[in-house]
Amino acid sequence: MTNEKKEHDVLVIDDDAFLLDMYSLKFSQKNFHVTASSGTIEALTKLREGFMPEIIVVDLVMPEMDGFEFLEVVKNEGLAKGALIIILSNLGQQEDIDRGLSLGALGFIIKASATPTEVVMKVLETVEERATK
């Protein structure tokens, strides 16, 4: 019997298939149980069906429904209660960061300035910070 369990359930939402695969792999390597979603509509369907991830990592710039709209729906419908939400985006203006945080995100990582490994480490740091509060 192995002691190695998946430590955290994470929902990764990104419309870029290459990045989605890469982030899924990096999170899996750190013992995350990864659910990947290629868009916010697909992610909302999963959440509405009762999926309760511990962590949601969401891009902002996506077709159909952007990450801000997704966060508004999640907040308004009371989906993923208690989930730690981290925005992973190339939008990095202070107004974007402030808007994301006001919609319930606890972290904001700018894609262009973080490698996938750094993204996973920042998510882990945020999880640990939250656990100590």
List pLDDT tens digits, range 16-72: 999 999 999 999 999 999 999 999 999 999 999 999 999 999 999 999 999 999 999
Query: What is the predicted pLDDT for the residue at 3?
Result: 44
Is residue 90 pLDDT above 70, yes or no?
yes
Query: What is the predicted pLDDT for the residue at 53?
Result: 96
- When pLDDT is cut at 50, 70 and 90, the band that residue 2 belongs to is very low
Query: What is the predicted pLDDT for the residue at 19?
Result: 94
Query: What is the predicted pLDDT for the residue at 5?
Result: 54
What percent of the chain lies above the pLDDT cut of 70? 95
Query: What is the predicted pLDDT for the residue at 6?
Result: 59
- When pLDDT is cut at 50, 70 and 90, the band that residue 132 belongs to is confident
Is residue 4 pLDDT above 80, yes or no?
no
| Other beta carbons within 10 Å of 90 | 12
Mean pLDDT, the chain, integer? 92
The helix or strand, by DSSP H or E, that contains position 70, with its residue range, turns out to be: helix 67-77
- When pLDDT is cut at 50, 70 and 90, the band that residue 1 belongs to is very low
- Residue of 19, 3, 30 lying closest to 88 (CA atoms): 19
- Residue of 7, 116, 89, 14 lying closest to 55 (CA atoms): 7
Whether 96 contacts 89, CB under 8 Å: yes
Tokens of 42: 């697909």
- DSSP state letter for 53: -
- DSSP state letter for 65: S
The pair phi, psi for residue 73, each rounded to 5°, is -65, -45
Q: Which neighbouring-strand residues pair with 87?
A: 58, 108
